[in-house]
Structure formats: structure tokens, C-alpha cells
Amino acid sequence: MRVLSIVGARPQFVKLAPVAESFGRAGIDHVIVHTGQHYDARMSDVFFADLSIPAPDVHLGVGSGSHGVQTGSMLSALDAVLDEHRPDWVLVYGDTNSTLAGAVAAVKLHIPVAHLEAGLRSFNRRMPEEHNRVLTDHAADLLLAPTEVAVTHLAAEGLADRTVLLGDVMTDVCFRVRDAVLASELALPPGVDAGSGYLVSTIHRADNTDDPDLLAAIIDSLADLSLPVLLLAHPRLVARCAEFGISLDRPGLIRAEPLPYPEMVAAVLRSRGVVTDSGGLQKEAYLLGVPCTTLRTETEWVETLVDGWNVLDPDLSRVRAMAVRDKPQSAQSQPYGDGHAADRIAPTLTQWH
Ligand code: UD1
């Protein structure tokens, strides 16, 4: 069976890692297409190298642009690729513009398409990711849901008969890398002292970065926390801060480039907490047993909110107290699967073909 994976952005490379490994073991003829949505080495190449992902077979090189331009460029480039490889399945991942383009391109050519991480909903129609998820789920032939909650969302939209509860492949890779990191004592970025305590932060959502007043308030809040903040600065955050005259060189902030995945896991594991607007990092903090404060009005990963492992603070009113809170005493349940979700994909695709 030939499966063609379409990826393009950082979190998709992380999800691709356990899938590619599992497909290798299962003898799947796996074609990897990189759209080029993320292109900086730190946003792309390091993930392939560190997570031992085979190099992409095809690179579309679309780069950045408005949502329409970016998604449209991918769509027009994908026709020829799908025609050439004629896979039995196209597999799309998560909720980026690369996900939507991949799903639409496959559907138009009558190639079966499976959506990995189907059924997540923020119910916030301002988010480009929400459009991408909803449209992809309704276009796809097979919906691989990470959680029971995702299954419920798909059923509510009339999609139950195409849904399979798979578990979350991010759990697979997060646990595998955590175990490797614990065995190897990876160094923390310069200036970060695990002994005296620190927080990890990432901010990249358009709703947070594109409003100058809100962005200034977020950076002020981070710089004002009672522990130093390792701020892993996404290119969009750096660009908007420069545009709006917001300085990231502040005494409370340790500014660093986005980290490779193992270094990120190591930094979170040894931190006192995470402050973020990233979906993936909220869940990684949960899986790694670190409290998270999320600067958004809602989360797709609602299971992280149970017992206060994750706390939402969209108006920055609680972050000063919440960011440094102790971890909850309660034991966590396992809403994100057993760490073997990727191994269920090949048999599921075979069964549904
Ligand atoms: C994208 C995804 C988001 C995901 C995130 C992970 C969409 C709509 N959003 O958001 O769901 O959480 O990836 O990081 O697909 N840039 C660079 N170098 C790069 C990539 C981007 O400088 O390698 C800059 C460009 O200025 C670009 C901006 O970052 O315009 C935003 O990149 P884009 O891929 O459009 O969206 P992300 O914010 O990264």
C-alpha cells in the first residue's frame, strides 16, 4: 500500500516522526511531501534530523504568504505530485494550511484522504486552524481522532461513520523523546538555570501577535513574572515585536530561537511551568507533568484543564499568580492514548481501503 503524507509546518514534522517510523516497520510505501510552509532550518530541517525522519521525497517550496496565497500555491502544486505518485491514501496532519491544501487536492482527484488528529475544535471561528480542521474533517474519507472528546465532536457534525479513535501520535513521540532526554542530560540554553527555577514560554498566534497593545501587554506580563522566562521566539513574534517597537531584551526574559524538539522537551521537563498560546505545547506540558498557563480564551485540548494542569488566562489577569503555581497533586488520567497510536494507522488504512 502506498501512503502519501503531506506536511509543512513544525508540529506536523513532530507528528510525522512516529508515523514514518511505524510505516517503515509495517512495509508501507511511504511518500513524504513537504509543502515548504515552514522553511527556516530551525522550523523544519532540525526536526527531520533530530527525529530521524526520512528526507521528503518532494518539496513544494511554497514559503510564506497570506492564507489564500499560501494555501492556493500548495493546491496548484499538489495536483502534479498526486498524479505522479497515485497513492492509495493521502494522509494529512493537524490543522495548518498544509493540511487543508492536502485534503482538498486529494479529494478533487478522488484519492482517499485520511485526517490525523481529526475532531479537535476550539469553536473559535477567528482561528485559521479552526477553519482548516472543520473543512478538512468534512472533506476527508477517514477521520483518525486522538481523543474521546474529538470523537464526540465528529459525531455531532454527522461524521461518526468515518471516525476511528486512534489515540494521539504526539504522545508516542513525546514519551519516546522524554525517555531519551532523561537518559542523556541535554544542556539547557545559555542563561537558563534549572537550580533556581525558570518558566518556558512561546507566543505565536495571530490573535496575540498582531494586536500591538495586546502583544505589548503579553511581553510586559512575561517580563514581570517572579521567575525568569525562557522565551522561544517564533519568527512571527520577532517580526511583530520589531514592527511595533516592542523590545524582547528585558531583564526577566531569556530570549532564544525556537528549539529543536529534544531540547524543547528537556527545557519543559526541567522548568517550573509553561506559558504559551501553542496547542501542541499545552499538551506536551501535560504529558511531561508540568503546569501550563495558556494565553487564549479556549483550548482544543480540554482534557489538560482537568485538575488545573492547564489554566486559561486570555486577559492576563491571573498569569502572575498562575505561572509559578505548584503542580497539581492529583494523578493524571491518560486521555491522549498509550504512546502507540502511530502503530494503529497502517492496519486502519488497510482495513478502510
Ligand atoms: C502555522 C500554523 C499553526 C501552527 C504553527 C506552528 C497555519 C494557519 N498555522 O502557524 O497552526 O501552530 O504553524 O508553528 O497553518 N516564518 C518564518 N520562517 C518559517 C516559517 C514562518 O520566518 O520557517 C514567518 C513568516 O513571516 C510567516 C510567519 O512566520 O509569514 C507565519 O508563518 P505561517 O506558516 O503562516 O504560520 P505560523 O504562525 O507558523
Give dist(CA 109, CA 126) in Å, integer.
30
In a domain, 22, yes or no: yes
In a domain, 328, yes or no: no
Active-site residue set: 204
Is the same domain home to 143 and 93? yes
**What pLDDT does residue 132 have?**
98
Is the same domain home to 189 and 122? no
In a domain, 97, yes or no: yes
CB 146 within 8 A of CB 286: no
Give dist(CA 197, CA 247) in Å, integer.
23
* Nearest in space to 151 (alpha carbons), one of 164, 142, 138, 141: 164
Is the same domain home to 125 and 162? yes
Is the same domain home to 299 and 202? yes
Query: Is 39 close to ligand 1, i.e. is its CB under 6 Å away?
Result: yes
Is the same domain home to 184 and 164? no
Is the same domain home to 119 and 190? no
Q: Whose CA is nearest to atom 19 of ligand 1?
A: 38
Give dist(CA 102, CA 114) in Å, integer.
10
* Nearest in space to 349 (alpha carbons), one of 74, 5, 85: 5
Is the same domain home to 201 and 134? no
Sheet containing 253-256: give its strands across: 253-256, 229-232, 199-202, 273-276, 292-294, 310-312
Is the same domain home to 53 and 25? yes
Q: Give the number of the atom of ligand 1 that is nearest the alpha carbon of residue 11.
A: 6
**What pLDDT does residue 130 have?**
97
Neighbouring C-beta atoms of residue 206, cutoff 10 Å = 15
Cell numbers that stand for 7 in this block: 506536511
Q: Give the number of the atom of ligand 1 that is nearest the alpha carbon of residue 280.
A: 12
Q: Whose CA is nearest to atom 3 of ligand 1?
A: 96
In a domain, 236, yes or no: yes
* Nearest in space to 295 (alpha carbons), one of 317, 269, 313, 308: 313
Top mutation candidate among 42, 48, 64 for ligand 1, by most atoms within 8 Å of CB: 64
Q: What is the pLDDT along the chain (353 residues), one digit of tens a residue?
A: 999 999 999 999 999 999 999 999 999 999 999 999 999 999 999 999 999 999 999 999 999 999 999 999 999 999 999 999 999 999 999 999 999 999 999 999 999 999 999 999 999 999 999 999 999 999 999 999 999 999 999 999 999 999 999 999 999 999 999 999 998 878 889 999 888 999 999 999 999 999 999 999 999 999 999 999 999 999 999 999 999 999 999 999 999 999 999 999 999 999 999 999 999 999 999 999 999 999 999 999 999 999 999 999 999 999 999 999 999 998 888 999 989 999 999 999 999 99
**What pLDDT does residue 274 have?**
98
Query: Is 10 close to ligand 1, i.e. is its CB under 6 Å away?
Result: yes
At residue 50, what is the residue type? D
Is the same domain home to 204 and 92? no
* Nearest in space to 167 (alpha carbons), one of 120, 117, 119: 117
Instruction: Map the chain to HEC letters.
Output: CEEEEEECCHHHHHHHHHHHHHHHHHCCEEEEEECCCCCCHHHCHHHHHHCCCCCCCEECCCCCCCHHHHHHHHHHHHHHHHHHHCCCEEEEECCCHHHHHHHHHHHHCCCCEEEECCCCCCCCCCCHHHHHHHHHHHHCCEEEECCHHHHHHHHHCCCHHHEEECCCHHHHHHHHHHHHHHHHCCCCCCCCCCCCCCEEEECCCHHHHCCHHHHHHHHHHHHCCCCCEEEECCHHHHHHHHHHCCCCCCCCEEEECCCCHHHHHHHHHCCCEEEECCHHHHHHHHHCCCCEEECCCCCCCHHHHHHHCEEECCCCCCHHHHCCCCCCCCCCCCCCCCCCCHHHHHHHHHHHC
**What pLDDT does residue 127 have?**
93
Query: Is 43 close to ligand 1, i.e. is its CB under 6 Å away?
Result: yes
In a domain, 329, yes or no: no
Q: Domain span at residue 33?
A: 2-168+337-352
Phi-psi sector, 271: left (phi>0), alpha (psi -120 to 50), beta = beta
- The count of domains in the chain is 2
* Nearest in space to 115 (alpha carbons), one of 98, 140, 151, 88: 140
In a domain, 173, yes or no: no
CATH code of the domain in which 208 resides: 3.40.50.2000
In a domain, 195, yes or no: yes
**What pLDDT does residue 330 have?**
87
**What pLDDT does residue 79 have?**
97
Is the same domain home to 162 and 207? no
Is the same domain home to 141 and 196? no
In a domain, 72, yes or no: yes
Give dist(CA 149, CA 260) in Å, integer.
30
Give the list of residues 6+ apart from residue 159 with CB closer than 8 angstroms, or none.
119, 137, 138, 143
Is the same domain home to 187 and 151? no
Is the pTM value of this prediction over 0.85? yes
